[in-house]
Amino acid sequence: DVLSAEDIKKAVGAFSAAESFNYKKFFEMVGLKKKSPEDVKKVFHILDKDRSGFIEEEELKFVLKGFTPDGRDLSDKETKALLAAGDKDGDGKIGAD
């Protein structure tokens, strides 16, 4: 209910080719850049499958599937790039903040 199904479909489709994922463009396309911090945290908690309070590398690999079941898995290279962008304290995981 936070993001538009049409925006999600377009964003996931735009990065359906292997090695094409660009997290900045993806998050802009799904509309997260325009959302409040509270809404972003709602999406974070959906992606945090094990409810640890963090999104770990293994969960990031399936980030597109968190938005839609027919999304592809990210490659190891794409996953590591996304982790590096979000892991501000270097602990190997992304916190909600």
Residue 96 located in a structural domain: no
**Structural domain includes residue 94:** no
- pLDDT tens per residue, range 44-67: 999 999 999 999 999 999 999 999
Residue stretches of the annotated binding site for Ca(2+):
48, 50, 52, 54, 59, 87, 89, 91, 93
User: Total domain count for the chain?
Assistant: 1
Residue 24 has pLDDT above 90, yes or no: yes
| pTM, full prediction | 0.90
Q: Is the pLDDT of residue 20 over 90?
A: yes
72 torsion bin: left (phi>0), alpha (psi -120 to 50), beta (else): beta
Q: The domain that contains 77 carries what CATH number?
A: 1.10.238.10
> Residue 97 falls within a domain, yes or no?
no
Residue positions in the annotated binding site?
48, 50, 52, 54, 59, 87, 89, 91, 93
The stretch 29-44 carries a mean pLDDT of 94
pLDDT, residue 65, reads: 94
